[in-house]
């Protein structure tokens, strides 16, 4: 399977969970910093995820021209 494949959305969930559409920034706070970190024969190790997280921080917390640093 190629990397062009797209993760399918779960349309049934949209119905079930109704208005529960949450801000991505709040979701990432939880999914990238929270959740149980498992051990064992992981394909992806915790350290690898940490690497990913550092790069994402740059995206999530970067100061843009539209919201410049207040100081």
Site size toward other proteins (CB under 8 A) is 54
Q: Collapsing DSSP states into helix, strand and coil, what is residue 56?
A: helix
Compute the least distance from the CB of residue 12 to other proteins, in Å. 7
Residue with tokens 């949209």: 14
Binding mask 4-43 for other proteins (x = CB under 8 A): -xxxxxxxxx--xx-xxxxxxxxxxxxxxxxxxxxxxxxx
Compute the least distance from the CB of residue 14 to other proteins, in Å. 8
Paired tokens of 3: 């990397």
Residue with tokens 């790069």: 55
Residue with tokens 């801000």: 23
Compute the least distance from the CB of residue 13 to other proteins, in Å. 4
């Amino acid at each position: 399977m190629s990397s062009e494949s797209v993760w399918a959305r779960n349309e049934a969930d949209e119905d079930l969970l109704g208005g529960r559409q949450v801000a991505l920034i709040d979701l990432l706070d939880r999914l990238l910093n929270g959740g149980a970190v498992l051990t064992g024969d992981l394909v992806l190790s915790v350290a690898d995820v940490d690497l990913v997280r550092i790069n994402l921080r740059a995206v999530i917390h970067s100061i843009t021209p539209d919201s410049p640093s207040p100081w």
